[in-house]
Chains A and B, each alone.
Chain A
Amino acid sequence: MKVALLSFAHVHATSYASLLADWPGVELLATDPDGATAPPGELRGRALADRLGVAYADSYDDALAWQPDAVIVCAENSRHRDLTVRAAAAGAHVLCEKPLATTAADAEGMIEACERAGLFLMTAYPVRFSTEFAALKSLHDGGRLGTVLSATGTNNGHIPIGDRAWFTQPELSGGGALVDHVVHVADLLDALLEQPAVEVRAVTNRILHAEKPINGVETGGLVSVTYADGTIATIDCSWSHPDSAPNWGGLTLQVVGTEGVADIDPFGTHVGGYAGGGPAWLSLGTDLDRAMLGHFLDGVRSGRAPQPDGAVGLRTLRIVLAAQESARAGTAVPIPQLTS
């Protein structure tokens, strides 16, 4: 199977490239023409491909002319649509980095382009593939949690601008911590509750990393989401994991039901201690990127639509967009419900 990696903009591109380079039955070609516009010091383009030891094409057109069966879109958020539409036109299935897009119109355009071409569009939500989430989902589906009352999710990490400055350039990222960190938890809740989100209220601030080039984007935020069945959820999306911490951050989800409380911490299992003059953190979880890529490639091979798909990407993006509007307006914002 021929897989093209379109852009090295997202920090996850390196992980995908390393995994796919050794993936049995996969031929990988990478391209990163926009890397030329990245700030000096960011390892992009052919230099990064060489470092990773993967084949490289100079342009998106060249990569798509290679006729890949599938592509992975790792461009800056606002560039997802263009690359997805071009990949669909070239007949390639698409795995797109999250968030799916920065506007609902872009996400809808991507879904439509892939649908019309009979191609899969999957949104890259790796935490869905954790054993911890599977356990939670199984508890919920088996009725062990009872009726869900509320959920609290956190996705706190390092601010990612050390490696990629565009994460705080709104024209490329679409915003700050709200855009980067709400969607993972929103996706888990989408899969768990199977309920549409109906209302969002968000507050944000810019206290964290105020001295860094954040270009006015939010670095902290709390997002309250109400679901159709009355379930309430709050997501802490802040880039609040200290630079000095030995790990990148993590994601947690606590679900409160009438039968009790369940907590998952998919990035929490580790060997701790002190090493080299500071705290040590040896992560032990399964490689979620590997599990997610495997699911996508299986879908492409078998013709079974991989999940989470573009529709989930759009539903979770709508929560982000409502959160942005709420943070601006100061009020709770209803989420438009699809009538179909």
Chain B
Amino acid sequence: MPEFTVGLVGAGGISRVHAAAWRALGAKLLVTSLAGAERLAAEHGGTVAASLDDLLGQVDLVDVVTPTPTHQEIVCRALDAGRPVVCEKPLARTGADAAGLVRQAAAAGVALFPGHVVRYFPEYAAMRAAVAAGRIGRPAVLRFSRGGMFPSWAPWFSDVTESGGLLMDQMIHDLDLARWVAGEVVEVFARSHTADRDGYPMQAAHVTLTHASGALSHVQGLWGPPHLGFRTSFHVAGDDGVLSYDSAATPAVRLDLAPLPAGGEDHPETPTGESPYLTELREFADAVAGGPAPRVSAADGAVAVWLATAALESLRSGTPVRLDTTALLEEIA
């Protein structure tokens, strides 16, 4: 891969994982952020740009890792500058904004990659490949679960207006996964229950998807108590077999050490092999360099936002919400 420069916009939690992956891919790093750019740059051997415009003028690719409500504007400016963009999920806070970005990227002929990194976790990639190869027959009933501690370190996560909350920020991973594995979606139903313990908020939500194929998916999300380890699982049943995985049951490293005074986790450890973030960003970088299209498209990112939006609407209305992601895809494209 020829030498290239990545502009990281944002210096929060996920920026460190991305920065390390970009460095591993041999990229030069330029960073801009409202706060923390110097530290991030120092930690990962990058330099700090004076402003977003300054950054956009110097990079080959922009990686947007800012809070959700800022995605739309920053991605829009990066596309205007003609720079390929990686944008952390969700692509935007609303389906309309996300679709607007996809159209803008297509019209400008500039690549836009949504950071649906779970498609790059080896257990999900292996399951999806097996399902696509017909190894469990026709998918019928699927379950996806994801849970960790409530993201209490940054206040915007808990503001549903800002982040979309649990459904838009965390469960969007599995909403995208369910569609990736079982196809387009025609109906969404959601239920949520919140509580707090001494002011520490928690939320559990369940979403049921009906796919155009007739398959059914259950997506379960949890922002739980502060001690909680991160855990994901899936159980995908078809008419010729079942594939299942539970990160709690399959630790690649098992420790039996004295308890550490550590808190919980908000994101998963890699089960085995290289970092899925590295796999993801390499695939994006390769695509920019003329390689094959990545496994997740900008339109996939927009549809995922629509699915989470429909789930939020179902929470509000208490009723199932009809939608047609096949038509949405055509509309966006």
Interface residues of A (CB under 8 A from B): 146-147, 149-150, 152, 154, 156, 201, 203-210, 219-222, 224, 226, 230-234, 236, 238, 240-242, 244-245, 254, 256, 258-261, 263, 330-332
Q: How far is the CA of A244 from the CA of B147 in the complex (A)?
A: 31
Pick from B22-30, B66-74, B137-145 the stretch touching chain A.
Answer: B137-145
Provided the pairs A210-B239, A236-B143, A331-B319 are in contact, do residues A152 and B225 lie with their beta carbons within 8 angstroms? no
Distance of A178 from chain B, by nearest CB (Å): 12
Contact string, B219-243, partner A, CB cutoff 8 A, digits 1/0? Answer: 0101011011001000101111110
Q: How far is the CA of A152 from the CA of B237 in the complex (A)?
A: 16
Contact of A222 (CB < 8 Å), options: B197, B216, B239: B216
Provided the pairs A207-B214, A207-B215, A258-B195 are in contact, do residues A242 and B206 lie with their beta carbons within 8 angstroms? no
B242 touches A150 (CB 8 A): no
Contact string, B107-142, partner A, CB cutoff 8 A, digits 1/0? Answer: 000000000000000000000000000000011110
Set of chain B residues within 8 Å of A152, measured between Cβ atoms: 143, 145, 206, 218, 220
B218 touches A256 (CB 8 A): no
Which chain B residue shows the least CB distance to A330? B320
Q: Which of B187, B202, B231, B240 has the most CB of A within 10 A?
A: B202
- Would you call B287 an interface residue if the criterion is a C-beta within 8 Å of the partner chain's C-beta atoms? no
Chain B's interface size range is 35 or more
B140 touches A146 (CB 8 A): no
Provided the pairs A208-B237, A226-B191, A242-B240 are in contact, do residues A236 and B206 lie with their beta carbons within 8 angstroms? no
Contact of B206 (CB < 8 Å), options: A205, A234, A259, A260: A234
Q: How far is the CA of A209 from the CA of B239 in the complex (A)?
A: 6
B197 touches A256 (CB 8 A): no
Q: How far is the CA of A245 from the CA of B241 in the complex (A)?
A: 9
B216 touches A220 (CB 8 A): yes
Provided the pairs A152-B206, A220-B237, A330-B320 are in contact, do residues A147 and B218 lie with their beta carbons within 8 angstroms? no
Q: How far is the CA of A207 from the CA of B143 in the complex (A)?
A: 16
Set of chain A residues within 8 Å of B213, measured between Cβ atoms: 207
B225 touches A258 (CB 8 A): yes
Q: How far is the CA of A216 from the CA of B215 in the complex (A)?
A: 16
B193 touches A232 (CB 8 A): yes
A150 touches B237 (CB 8 A): no
Which chain B residue shows the least CB distance to A234? B206
Provided the pairs A203-B208, A238-B140, A258-B197 are in contact, do residues A149 and B202 lie with their beta carbons within 8 angstroms? yes
B222 touches A256 (CB 8 A): yes
Interface residues of B (CB under 8 A from A): 138-141, 143, 145, 147, 187, 189, 191-197, 202-206, 208, 210, 213-216, 218, 220, 222, 224-225, 227-228, 231, 235, 237-242, 248, 318-320
Contact of B218 (CB < 8 Å), options: A207, A236, A259: A236
Contact of A205 (CB < 8 Å), options: B215, B222, B228: B215
B222 touches A207 (CB 8 A): no
B242 touches A260 (CB 8 A): no
Which chain B residue shows the least CB distance to A147? B195
Contact of B141 (CB < 8 Å), options: A150, A230, A240: A240
Set of chain A residues within 8 Å of B143, measured between Cβ atoms: 152, 154, 236
Distance of B120 from chain A, by nearest CB (Å): 26
A240 touches B218 (CB 8 A): no
Set of chain B residues within 8 Å of A240, measured between Cβ atoms: 140-141, 237, 242
Provided the pairs A232-B193, A256-B224 are in contact, do residues A220 and B320 lie with their beta carbons within 8 angstroms? no
Set of chain B residues within 8 Å of A222, measured between Cβ atoms: 141, 208, 216, 218
Distance of B214 from chain A, by nearest CB (Å): 5
Q: How far is the CA of A208 from the CA of B215 in the complex (A)?
A: 10
A149-B195, A238-B140 known; 9 new pairs, CB 8 Å cut-off, are A154-B143, A207-B139, A210-B239, A222-B208, A232-B205, A236-B141, A236-B235, A258-B197, A263-B248
Q: Which of A203, A241, A254, A259 has the most CB of B within 10 A?
A: A203
B208 touches A201 (CB 8 A): yes
Set of chain A residues within 8 Å of B203, measured between Cβ atoms: 149
Q: Which of B139, B140, B208, B248 has the most CB of A within 10 A?
A: B140
Set of chain A residues within 8 Å of B218, measured between Cβ atoms: 152, 222, 234, 236
Distance of A231 from chain B, by nearest CB (Å): 6
Q: How far is the CA of A273 from the CA of B169 in the complex (A)?
A: 40
Contact of B210 (CB < 8 Å), options: A203, A254, A259, A260: A203
Set of chain B residues within 8 Å of A207, measured between Cβ atoms: 138-141, 213-215, 238-239
Distance of A49 from chain B, by nearest CB (Å): 36
Q: How far is the CA of A201 from the CA of B187 in the complex (A)?
A: 13
Q: Which of B203, B237, B240, B319 has the most CB of A within 10 A?
A: B237
B228 touches A261 (CB 8 A): yes
Provided the pairs A146-B197, A236-B218, A261-B228 are in contact, do residues A256 and B204 lie with their beta carbons within 8 angstroms? yes
Distance of B212 from chain A, by nearest CB (Å): 12
B208 touches A234 (CB 8 A): yes
A220 touches B220 (CB 8 A): no
Distance of B21 from chain A, by nearest CB (Å): 30
Closest 8 CB pairs of A and B: A240-B237, A150-B204, A207-B140, A149-B204, A232-B191, A220-B141, A238-B141, A149-B193
Q: How far is the CA of A209 from the CA of B228 in the complex (A)?
A: 39
Provided the pairs A203-B216, A232-B191, A236-B143 are in contact, do residues A156 and B237 lie with their beta carbons within 8 angstroms? yes
Set of chain A residues within 8 Å of B141, measured between Cβ atoms: 205, 207-208, 220-222, 236, 238, 240
Q: List 18 A-B contacts (CB under 8 A).
A: A147-B197, A149-B193, A149-B194, A150-B205, A150-B220, A208-B237, A221-B141, A222-B218, A224-B189, A224-B191, A224-B206, A224-B208, A231-B193, A234-B220, A236-B143, A242-B241, A258-B196, A258-B224
